[in-house]
Amino acid sequence: MTGGMAMGDGETAPPLVDASALTRLFETRRWPFGRRRGVRAVDGVDLSIQAGECVGIVGESGSGKSTLGALLLGLQRPSAGDVRFAGQRLAALTPRALRRLRAEMALVHQNPLGALDPRMRLGPQIVEPLIIHAIAADARERRARLEAALTDVGLPPAIAERFPHQVSGGQRQRAVIARALMLSPRFVVFDEAVSALDVSVQAQILNLIKRLQRQSGAAHLFITHDLRAVRQVADRVAVMFAGRIVEDGPVAEVIRAPRHPYTRALIDAAPKLVPGRRRRDARTTEVGSVDAGPADPTLAVATTPAGCAYRTRCPAATALCSTVRPRLASEDTGRRVACHHPAAEGAQPLAQAS
Amino acid sequence: MIAYAGRRLVRALLTLWVTLTAFFVLLRLNVDIGMLALNQNASPEAVAAFNARWGFDQPVLVQYLDYVRGLLVGDFGFSFRDSRPAVDWVFERLPKTLQLSMTGFALMVTIGVTAGIAAAINRGRALDRTIMSLAVAGYSMPSFVLGLGLMYAFAVFLQVLPSSGSTTWAHLILPAATYGLTGAAGVARYTRSAMLDVIGRPYILAAHATGTPPGEVITRHAAPNAAIPVVTFLGFSAGQLVGHAVIVETVFAWPGLGQALVTAVAFRDLAVVQVMVMVFVAFMVTANFIVDLLYGLLNPKIRMAGHGGKR
Ligand SMILES: Nc1ncnc2c1ncn2[C@@H]1O[C@H](COP(=O)(O)OP(=O)(O)O)[C@@H](O)[C@H]1O
Ligand code: SF4
Ligand SMILES: [Mg+2]
């Protein structure tokens, strides 16, 4: 709730999805001998998503994006904190009630070939949610809804007879999207939904996702490590690092004027993201992460009981950063940032500032 | 699918023929059959007369052609022991073997698949560890040890089941259980790993995310996909059929083909050995043929390989 809503500051419509202090700990096996080690995949995340809003989550591999998506969908149980969907606490629901609620949520997975049952023709897979939720009982109605869904995602009706291995990657992802949207869910998580596709196909699928969202008014969570994709579909973006949101705000604002050093590094590492700004030189790219390998939350947890998890890579780090962990603070611009020394609005690139 | 089945059928028949020929030649290489069939002290004349009577003095190729000609009219040769047609042995013994191995096979599949699925679903928990420990024990225990153990427990100690013979259904229980349990250990291990592999796939997560009840996730998606490798494994395990039959039938004095094969070999009863081996090979080839068909049914990629499945 405290997760400052970037959108619509005036009218406070209750968010459709609302996570507070959401935490997910993975305990690595400790028997037979080894010490108990924990990974905080998601660490105290506050995030709310409004109906009709598309929130992008960016961050490097291992930063906890997929885990956050699974938590918001109730596919994993939080170790601490809460997820509310339309006001209902997911953790308070019986497994059965949660399954029923799943008709209103959906997941689109990164790997469209893996996300489809290789043994089933596409048609039956796409309409399966109707059967599971006993919605369209007779075959003719299912047939009609299948055709409508295929048209919606731009697939020819004949494709229903095909097996997943018989169609292209883009068509597969369209089929996965058709299946996810079969029940007109109010909340859809796209987990790296275009990352596995060719660049040309990516753009088409992104457009499709955007169009479908406008039509349906659903809330979307769009997970990716690609800032460009986020800029194309999302209204708001949250940047994750080591299980935490380090910055969020309207996507155009965040890209134009990043406040957190990590966001800056992500933007600088992405070529041609901002017109006129070229990719930074090697020295700063090295600091700037994406090539510096995944964050290791284990390390962050084990070796940093306090302090900012990003400080070992941060060019702006000070003594304060290694003792006090920065809180994600709301700013009056509707943005949030977790940093002791955020870049000032419209600041010059860090390398030059320091 | 028809074309696929046709190709598999041709392959099965070819396998049968090649095995038969190889076996026929092997049995006749460098072996004085008359000497073996009679005994060490038989006079050379008697041995020569024996060889002439049964045609063993002919070149192998001639014998082979004769044999094949015989096969075409349903003549499988005669037993040295009682001069009856060798197939009579098969007709007498086959039903018993079928009864035992079918029951055993059904038990093996039922127990093995159920245990494997249960272990996979409860991965890492007590049930999984119990099942897998039992499976390892079962897998490493020779079937005659298990057979004797069961016999001791149920026939000698508890005295609730007969120890040997084949006259009633009760007689079937111990040998079929021996057969089934020995095989089930491997099936369970294989099923578990196939299930674990499938359960980790994104489409299983997708099914959960759709709100599919856990049981239906298994029946709709996990089990059918895991069945593909399991069925293949079952095909291979049909290859152990002969060994199983010989051992289990001997331990429980079950009058089937396996037991008869052991005696036929002991008596050097060539025609009978030959026809029995053929039956066993036919058994395996049929099993593999069925597996191939099932495999095609279960796996669209295989089935459609013929007609331009786009990659
Ligand atoms: N099931 C799991 N068991 C143990 N660790 C996990 C599991 N799932 C994720 N993690 C760990 O949690 C962290 C975040 O993972 P993930 O959410 O997949 O990140 P992302 O999607 O951003 O790449 C990683 O360190 C990962 O190793
Ligand atoms: S808090 Fe300190 S170390 Fe962390 S990002 Fe900000 S300046 Fe860098
Ligand atoms: Mg991920």
| pLDDT digit string, tens, across residues A305-342 | 578 999 999 999 999 999 999 999 988 788 999 999 99
> Comparing C-alpha atoms, which of A329, A328, A292, A327 is closest to residue A312?
A292
| Integer Cα distance of A238 and A247 in angstroms | 6
pLDDT (mean) for A71-98 = 95
Structural domain count of chain A: 1
- Distance to chain A for B235, nearest Cα, Å: 20
Question: Quick check: CB of A317 below 6 Å from ligand 2?
Answer: yes
pLDDT tens per residue across span B166-223? 788 888 889 999 989 988 999 999 999 999 999 999 999 999 999 999 999 999 999 9
Does the pLDDT of residue A304 top 50, yes or no?
no
Note the pLDDT of residue B188.
Answer: 95
Note the pLDDT of residue B196.
Answer: 96
| Integer Cα distance of A100 and A92 in angstroms | 14
- Cα radius of gyration rounded to whole Å, chain A: 21
Residues 6+ apart with CB under 8 A from B222: B195, B198, B199, B204
- What is the 3-class SS of chain A, one letter each residue? CCCCCCCCCCCCCCCCEEEEEEEEEEEECCCCCCCCEEEEEEEEEEEEECCCCEEEEECCCCCCHHHHHHHHCCCCCCCEEEEEECCEEHHHCCHHHHHHHHHHEEEECCCCCCCCCCCCCHHHHHHHHHHHCCCCCCHHHHHHHHHHHHHHCCCCHHHHHCCHHHCCHHHHHHHHHHHHHCCCCCEEEEECCCCCCCHHHHHHHHHHHHHHHHHHCCEEEEEECCHHHHHHHCCEEEEEECCEEEEEEEHHHHHHCCCCHHHHHHHHHCCCCCCCCCCCCHHHHHHCCHHHCCCCHHHHHHHCCCCCCCHHHCCCCCHHHHHCCCCCEECCCCCEECCCCCCCCCCCCHHHHC
Structure-block tokens of residue B267 = 């008596």
Residues 6+ apart with CB under 8 A from A338: A244, A245, A246, A247, A260, A308, A326, A327, A328, A329
* Residue at A282 is within a domain: no
Strand partners, A83: A19
Give the phi and the psi of residue B275 in degrees, each rounded to 5: -70, -35
* Residue at A124 is within a domain: yes
Say if the Cβ atoms of A133 and B211 lie within 8 Å: yes
Strand partners, A223: A57, A191
Does the pLDDT of residue A300 top 50, yes or no?
no
Say if the Cβ atoms of B300 and A102 lie within 8 Å: no
Instruction: Determine which of A90-99, A199-208, A285-294, B135-144 has the lowest per-residue pLDDT on average.
Output: A285-294
Residues 6+ apart with CB under 8 A from B281: B15, B16, B19, B20, B23
Question: What's at A333, amino acid-wise?
Answer: T
Contacts of B294 in chain A (CB under 8 A): none
CA atoms within 13 A on the CB side of B169: 1
Does the pLDDT of residue A296 top 70, yes or no?
no
Does the pLDDT of residue B263 top 90, yes or no?
no
Displacement of CA A103 from its chain's centroid (Å): 20
Instruction: Determine which of A104-113, B93-102, B120-129, B234-243 has the lowest per-residue pLDDT on average.
Output: B234-243
Q: Which residue of B has its CA nearest to A181?
A: B210
Does the pLDDT of residue B31 top 70, yes or no?
no
Ligand 1 atom at minimum distance from A240 CA: 22
Grade residue B34 by pLDDT with cuts at 50, 70 and 90: low
Sequence ranges of the domains in chain B: 1-79+269-311, 94-268
pLDDT (mean) for A157-170 = 94
Considering the domain delimited by B94-268, tell me its CATH architecture: Orthogonal Bundle (1.10)
Strands A88-89 and A80-85, by their bridges, are: antiparallel
Give the phi and the psi of residue A4 in degrees, each rounded to 5: -45, 120
Q: How many CB atoms lie within 10 A of CB B46?
A: 14
B210 touching chain A per CB within 8 A: yes
Note the pLDDT of residue A286.
Answer: 32
Burial of A96 (0-12, 13-18, 19+ CB in 10 A): exposed
Distance A64 CA to ligand 1 centre (A): 6
Q: How many CB atoms lie within 10 A of CB B69?
A: 10
Residues 6+ apart with CB under 8 A from A268: A277, A279, A280, A284, A285, A288, A349
Distance A185 CA to ligand 1 centre (A): 26
* Residue at A313 is within a domain: no
Please say whether the beta carbons of A224 and A290 come within 8 A.
Answer: no
- Cα radius of gyration rounded to whole Å, chain B: 24
CA atoms within 13 A on the CB side of B218: 14
pLDDT tens per residue across span A237-257? 999 999 999 999 999 999 999
Strands A236-241 and A17-28, by their bridges, are: unpaired
Give the phi and the psi of residue B309 in degrees, each rounded to 5: -70, 120
Grade residue B84 by pLDDT with cuts at 50, 70 and 90: confident
Note the pLDDT of residue A3.
Answer: 42
Does the pLDDT of residue A353 top 70, yes or no?
no
Does the pLDDT of residue A288 top 80, yes or no?
no
Does the pLDDT of residue A182 top 70, yes or no?
yes
- Which is more confidently placed, A195 or A298? A195
Note the pLDDT of residue B245.
Answer: 78
* Residue at A172 is within a domain: yes
* Residue at A125 is within a domain: yes
Q: CATH no. for residue A153?
A: 3.40.50.300
Distance B271 CA to ligand 2 centre (A): 88
Please say whether the beta carbons of A341 and A263 come within 8 A.
Answer: no
Strands A219-224 and A54-58, by their bridges, are: parallel
Instruction: Determine which of A106-110, A344-348, B103-107 has the lowest per-residue pLDDT on average.
Output: A344-348
Give the domain extent around A74.
9-27+39-261
Buried b / exposed e over A123-161, threshold 16 CB at 10 Å, is: bebbbbbbbbbeebeeeeebeebbeebbebbbbeeebbe
pLDDT (mean) for A191-218 = 91
Instruction: Determine which of A343-347, B57-61, B94-98 has the lowest per-residue pLDDT on average.
Output: A343-347
Note the pLDDT of residue A346.
Answer: 55
Give the phi and the psi of residue B43 in degrees, each rounded to 5: -70, 150
Note the pLDDT of residue B144.
Answer: 87
Note the pLDDT of residue A161.
Answer: 95
Note the pLDDT of residue A299.
Answer: 45
* Residue at A343 is within a domain: no
Note the pLDDT of residue A186.
Answer: 96
Give the alpha-carbon dihedral of A161, A163, A169, A172, to 10 degrees: 60
User: How many residues are listed for chain B in this entry?
Assistant: 311
- Which is more confidently placed, B235 or A20? A20
pLDDT (mean) for A200-229 = 93
Please say whether the beta carbons of B135 and B120 come within 8 A.
Answer: no
Note the pLDDT of residue A272.
Answer: 66
Please state, for a pLDDT cut of 70, what percent of chain A lies above it.
81
- Which is more confidently placed, B24 or B190? B190
Q: Hey, which of A325, A339, A350, A354 would you mutate to test ligand 2's pocket, going by the most ligand atoms within 8 Å of its Cβ? A: A339
Note the pLDDT of residue A31.
Answer: 60
Note the pLDDT of residue A7.
Answer: 45
pLDDT (mean) for B247-255 = 89
* Residue at A331 is within a domain: no
Question: Quick check: CB of A234 below 6 Å from ligand 2?
Answer: no
Would the CA dihedral through B223, B224, B226, B228 be positive or negative? positive
Buried b / exposed e over B91-115, threshold 16 CB at 10 Å, is: eebbebbebbbebbbebbbebbbeb
Please say whether the beta carbons of A169 and A198 come within 8 A.
Answer: yes
Q: Hey, which of A58, A67, A71 would you mutate to test ligand 1's pocket, going by the most ligand atoms within 8 Å of its Cβ? A: A67
Strand partners, A48: A18
Grade residue A133 by pLDDT with cuts at 50, 70 and 90: very high
Does the pLDDT of residue A206 top 90, yes or no?
yes
